[in-house]
Amino acid sequence: MDITIAIDAMGGDHGPHVTIPAVLHAIRHDSQLSIILVGPRDVLEAELAANKAEAGPRLRIHHASEIVAMDESPQSALKNKKDSSMRVAINLVKSGEANACVSAGNTGALMATARFVLKTLPGIDRPAIAGILPTQKGKVYMLDLGANADCTPEHLLQFAIMGAMLVSCVEHKERPTVGLLNIGSEDIKGNEVVKQAGELLRASHLNFYGNIEGNDIYKGTTDVVVCDGFVGNVALKTSEGLAQMVNRFLTQEFKRNWLTKMTALMAMPVLKAFKRRLDHRRYNGATFLGLRGVVVKSHGGADSLAFQYAIRAAAEESRNGVLERITEQLEIEHLQPQLASQEIK
């Protein structure tokens, strides 16, 4: 299925040096994909030339004169950067010229702008950030990873619906299992919001597994993990910190003396295979779920390979109609007006 993705070519720590090589790779490997590069025309043309490429029917340039800084406040981006590469890429989704957009720009500004321009789906109070993590069994989709620090039980139910439909579409699982992140498996465990969310989930039509604990995330106990944005963000960043420490300790031990350095040389293929299994680049591309359009956020520090995964995620979601599936499920759960799905482009 032909789809078009708008790329905020200037977003992220490396801007077009990363986004353009990733885009060139993506259109070579997906013949039904078209890209609209958004950013200052001269900068993008120069970077294309540096990569021995040029614009064409499947790779258009859409000029945008401004750039949202990585440390810019969402308010400032919304108010002062109306012609930013980020904003214009989102506008292209709104107007229907693009099916989805991808940005490695700053998360707060991207969320605020996407929410302002696209609005939320009927029945969804707040968009959530869904990310992918590796597990012992494969991978898990977790949300919210930080968009909503204070949540109600109803918000958590909405996150569960969105996460389940995302996995259903993208992983082609009929009825993905949904786990509610808690501090014990019994129904009476947890804080008040989570206890009430458990009741809503048990009454829903989702394939609700029940409460899960932190260690279940990486065990791969469920296909979807639901939590508020505070807890999700802490769990994600704690994991990043632990992974960095493990990596550093392992490196230090292998570099301790000439004998351990020799061992490291011999163990290199094994260590590389090990690191490949945990390579965060393969899981790059967090989805902003609940908007009237597909928006994928790449990690700001992503390299070209990682950015390709973010583009691929946006393409998969668009092709598999994740927004329509969410809307259908909201109707099944009686969480939105019956005809609202017709409003969605």
Which residues contact a second copy by CB under 8 A? 134-136, 146, 149-150, 181, 183, 189-192, 194, 213-219, 227-231, 233-246, 248-250, 253-254, 256, 260, 263-264, 266-267, 269-271, 273-274, 277-278
Other CB atoms within 10 A of residue 116 CB? 13
Which residue, 95 or 260, is less far from a second copy as judged by CB?
A: 260
DSSP state of 210: E
- Residue among 145, 154, 149, 37 at smallest CA distance from 101: 37
Rg (CA), the chain: 21
Least distance to a second copy, CB of residue 37, Å: 31
Looking only at the bridges linking them, the beta strands covering 207-212 and 139-143 are: unpaired
Least distance to a second copy, CB of residue 166, Å: 21
- Residue among 245, 291, 259 at smallest CA distance from 126: 291
Which residue, 278 or 332, is less far from a second copy as judged by CB?
A: 278
Which residue, 125 or 331, is less far from a second copy as judged by CB?
A: 125
Least distance to a second copy, CB of residue 239, Å: 5
User: Facing residues of 155 across strands?
Assistant: none
Which residue, 112 or 250, is less far from a second copy as judged by CB?
A: 250
Sign of the CA dihedral with 344 first, then 83, 6, and 90 last: negative
Which residue, 243 or 332, is less far from a second copy as judged by CB?
A: 243
- C-alpha to C-alpha distance for 299 and 316, rounded to whole angstroms: 18
Least distance to a second copy, CB of residue 194, Å: 8
Which residue, 64 or 77, is less far from a second copy as judged by CB?
A: 77
3 state SS of 191: coil
- Residue among 156, 147, 162, 149 at smallest CA distance from 182: 156
Least distance to a second copy, CB of residue 108, Å: 9
Least distance to a second copy, CB of residue 142, Å: 10
Which residue, 133 or 165, is less far from a second copy as judged by CB?
A: 133
**Which segments of 189-332 are extended strands (E)?**
207-212, 224-226, 286-289, 294-297
Q: Are 111 and 285 in contact (CB under 8 A)?
A: no
Q: Are 121 and 291 in contact (CB under 8 A)?
A: yes
Least distance to a second copy, CB of residue 279, Å: 11
